[in-house]
Amino acid sequence: MKDVYTLADLDDPEVLNPAGAKPARLAVIGHPVAHSQSPQLHQPALDALGIEARYIRLDLAPGELTPAFAKMRALGFVGTNVTVPHKFEALEACSRLDPAAEAIGAVNTILFGEEEEILGFNTDGPGFVRAIREDFSVDVRDLKIMIIGAGGGAGQALATQCAREGCEQLVLVNRSLDKLEALCEKLAPLFNSDRLDGPGERLSALALDSPQLAEVAGHCDLLVQTTSLGLKATDSAPIPKSCLQPHHLVYDTIYEPARTRFLGLAEANGARIANGLSLLLHQGALSFEYWFPGTQPLEKMRR
């Protein structure tokens, strides 16, 4: 069996489902996708629950998603996870969207329904809420939160979820402020309340090079890093060490390596830290529950 499959492999039964192997019925789609640890979460859960299915990695180039969905449905796939760069293309391919996916504007979980229906979900946001509760024993709605890299797909998803949860305050940080304009416009109505002084106070945007960054960060409870900085050992931290304080909860969505430079600096400054493995776990369990309602895969996935 291959570590990574392609669109062409979906047309070759002997390659996709060799003799003696469980049939491929679930996948994670990305480009690249060889690094994904999703099979290590989902396959043990499938096996433990006695489900005759295999979870595979499927590398698709941009534009290959729609034909792949047609082939997967014909092959009897239950559904698939979708990661970068396909989350927005997957949104367009769906015939029906879960409210979370619609609000976030991206899909990471597909369920192939009856009569050609393609159902789209996003478990990143809800999974993040569960991860923060598990790692820090607090609820997102009770926190003042800074999202670093809020202009990217992951940052937008988590920022949208924090706003939907009604967090105390949300600070969006990005290298380029113009990437945050549409997101701010979308989220502003969610902060129209009398808890503080309206959107201008509870929702704000800052550039990474803003001289106010350290001061604003100091007033936040939770700092969330959503950029790709930290995947390589030579990467710098996304924000200066001066922004990190002992009262902070610091979360990096990267899980490999387990301790990025950013998390190392935060811990050295006395902050409590956690990495993105808990997010991977919880969003994965939520996806599994959409595919197989009534199952409880979380602890099997955790092991």
Close Cβ partners of 81 (under 8 Å, ≥ 6 residues apart): 26, 27, 28, 29, 38, 108, 109, 110, 284, 287
Query: Closest Cα partner for 251 from 169, 138, 174?
Result: 138
In the numeric block, the tokens 């449905």 are attached to 73
In the numeric block, the tokens 């009856």 are attached to 114
Distance set, CA 168 to CA 115, 137, 184 (Å): 43, 17, 16
Q: Is 87 annotated as catalytic? A: yes
Which residue is catalytic, options 2, 22, 71, 87? 87
Query: Closest Cα partner for 241 from 275, 259, 218?
Result: 218
Interhelix angle 277-291/124-136, nearest 10 degrees: 130
Active site positions, annotated: 87
